[in-house]
Structures are given as structure tokens and as C-alpha cells.
Amino acid sequence: MSAFDQILAEHPYILGTFLSEIAAPNLLRIMKSAGLRFVVVDCEHGYFDYAQVAAIAAVGNGIGFPVIVRIPSITREPIQKFLDAGVDGLLAPMTNTAEQARDLVRFGKYAPLGARGISTTRPHTEYNPGKLADYLARANTRVMLFVQIETATGVAAAADIAATAGIDALFIGPNDLASDYGCPGDFHTPRMQEALRAVTVAAKNAGKPSGILASDVAFLKECRELGMRIFSCNSEVGLLRQRMKTLCGEF
């Protein structure tokens, strides 16, 4: 069981946040002490390099705080390097088809489930993998692969994406999805509400959790009522700015 699975097994729903641009590994200690359960390092829009992510993953591994990387694309290089650095999982943005989901599994899981390249004297094995076959099986259980549904096409394919072996959860990216529906910033149109329900049901029917990434706590609570279990709220930058703004207002 992965660290992420363990947390999900112990709680009906979990809350994390994004790391969007501040490459300070000890921010994870602050997040954990505040009660958050995981962090998503944004390497889609953010400008973290591999060494920075490796340092963040090292702290996460050391304190038992899952580190998920939102990858820039479903391609071999970033998937291979982030996983070898020891991150706990990957989030693939703009996943529109089951074929893309299968590519994520192919690059992110070892055989027989996938075809991840093998290099074991690395952080992801603690430089001590032991018997190779046993390690590969453990790694396939440890690594979490998440997809992000952000378009009408992705919503339509949600059931097939969720049914893909090796995919662990479905997330919704509401900003891009609302924009694709022609209602940017509005998550309460009938079409958006139906999409939220459709993805949640698709994941549930496949026996997998669903989640969403947003900054509005009230909206996240609505999604929790729909049956979603994994929530990422705001980012280190947004939360820092929010508190600074509150402080200025109080003063």
C-alpha cells in the first residue's frame, strides 16, 4: 500500500495544497504540521527543475508526507526522472482519452503493468532495492498515478479513463474545464455541475476515488458532498498572499 493509499484508508477525505513556485523543501514540514495530507508540485505551470523536485521529494519521504508531481506532459523523460527522484506519484494534466491514461501507466509502472525503465541505485529505492523482482512489485504498489480531466472530451471519456488498469484516481481541473465549456470562472453552470457528477460517478464505478483542485473552500465542500475524496486547495503562494492581505486589513 502506498503512503497516499494509507492516508485515504484512514480518512474519508483528505486535503492538500499545491507548491507552485517556492522551491523550499521544508515548506512540506509546515504543511504537515498545519494538518495538510499531501502536496502537488506543479511542474506543468511551475518552473521547478529536477534537482529541486528531488530535494522536495527527499523531505517528503523523510517525514511521510506524499509528494505528487503534476507533470508537464505524458512523456517518458519527466515521468522517469520524477519517479526515480522518489516522488510518490504523478498527476497528468489534460488527460482526454484512455489511450493517454495507458501511456501514463506504460511510462510510470514497471512490467508487467507498464514498461518503466529500470535504474535502481537511485533515491526511489533508498539506494538499496534488494531483490529486483520484489522491488519492482513494491514500486508498482507505491507509485500513484492520477489523471486530470479538464475538457469536455475528457469528461466524455471519463469512464474509459477510470477503467484503465494502473490509474489510481481521477481529478477535475475546474478552471480549464469551465473555460472549455465557455463559462470561465463559473463552476455552477448546469453543464459544469453535470461534469462534476459524471467524473465522480465514473471513478466510483471503477472503484477509484476522485478529487478536484480549486481555491474556494465552499466549492470544495460541494464537491465533497458529491462524493469526491481528494482535495487540493490553493497553493503556497496563494495562501501566503491571502494571509498577508488579511494581516494588512487587520492592521
Distance CA 200, CA 196 (A): 6
The stretch 5-23 carries a mean pLDDT of: 93
pLDDT bracket for residue 116 (50, 70, 90):
very high
Any idea which residues carry the catalytic annotation?
45
pLDDT at 173: 98
pLDDT at 161: 98
**SS in 3 state form for 110-171?**
CCCCCCCCCCCCCHHHCCCCCCHHHHHHHHHHHCEEEEEECCHHHHHCHHHHHCCCCCCEEE
Distance CA 120, CA 124 (A): 7
pLDDT bracket for residue 8 (50, 70, 90):
confident
pLDDT at 4: 81
The CA distances from residue 163 to 14, 16, 61, 99, in Å, are: 23, 25, 29, 11
| Cell reading at 30 | 509546515
Helix axes 98-108, 76-84, angle to 10 degrees: 40
Question: DSSP labels for 68-98?
Answer: EEE-SSS-HHHHHHHHHTT-SEEEESS--SH
Distance CA 165, CA 181 (A): 29
In eight-state DSSP terms, residue 187 is: -
pLDDT at 246: 97
Distance CA 84, CA 139 (A): 11
Q: Is the pLDDT of residue 125 over 80?
A: yes
pLDDT, tens digit, 9 for 90 and up, residues 48-101: 999 999 999 999 999 999 999 999 999 999 999 999 999 999 999 999 999 999
| Cell reading at 107 | 511510462
**Which domains are assigned to the chain?**
3-250 (3.20.20.60)
pLDDT bracket for residue 3 (50, 70, 90):
confident
